[in-house]
Amino acid sequence: MRDLDDIDRRILLALQRDGRLSNQDLADRVGLSPSPCLRRVRLLEEAGVIAGYRAVIDQEAVGLPITAFVRITLQTHEHHLVEEVERRLREVPEVVEAYLLAGDQDYLLKVTVASFASYEDFVRHRLRTIPTLASIQTTFAFGVTKTVSPLPVGSS
C-alpha cells in the first residue's frame, strides 16, 4: 500500500461520495488543477487503492426488499472443502456480501431476496447444498440505519 497524503485522502473521500465527479469538479474540490488531479487518481487506481467504480442500487426499487444476515457454521474445515464453500458462495447471486469470521460461526452472509418464500427457496436449494454445512442462523433486517458509507480515510 502506498502512503496517502492529505490530497490523496481528499480525492478518495470525494470519489466515495460521488464516483461520477468529472476530473475538473474533483480537482476543484481537492484544490488541484485538472492534470495533477487526474495523475493522482490514476496512481491511486494503479496502486489498487481505488478498486473500482459502481452504481449503488436501491434494492427495494428493483424488487429485493428483504435483507437477511445469515451466519453459517461448517462441520469441518478441510482446505478443499472450504475452497468449495467459498467458490459456491461467490456464485450465488442472492449473497451480496460474504465474510469469513473468527468466533463461533464461520461465515456471515448478507442476502437480499424478493420475499420470505424466496428466502426459503434460497435456503433449501442454495445453502443446504453446500458441503459440510453444520448450521444456519438467520437475522432479518427490518430497516436500514446507515447505508454504505465512505471509508474514514480522512483520519490518520
Report how far Cα 117 is from the mean position of its chain's Cα atoms: 25
pLDDT attached to residue 156: 52
Contact 14, 28 (CB under 8 A): no
- Rounded Cα distance between 26 and 32, Å, is 8
Q: Nearest 5 degrees, angle CA 116-CA 121-CA 123?
A: 95
Per-residue pLDDT of 64-92, as tens digits, reads: 999 999 999 999 999 999 999 999 999 99
Per-residue pLDDT of 20-70, as tens digits, reads: 999 999 999 999 999 999 999 999 999 999 999 999 999 999 999 999 999
Q: Enter the C-alpha cell of residue 20.
A: 461520477
Average of per-residue pLDDT values in the chain: 95
Q: Enter the C-alpha cell of residue 22.
A: 468529472
CA separation, residue 88 to residues 43, 102, 125 (Å): 34, 20, 12
For the sheet with 133-141, list strands across it: 95-100, 107-113, 66-74, 133-141
Domains assigned to the chain: 6-46 (1.10.10.10), 66-141 (3.30.70.920)
Residue 98 phi/psi, 5-degree rounding, is -145, 135
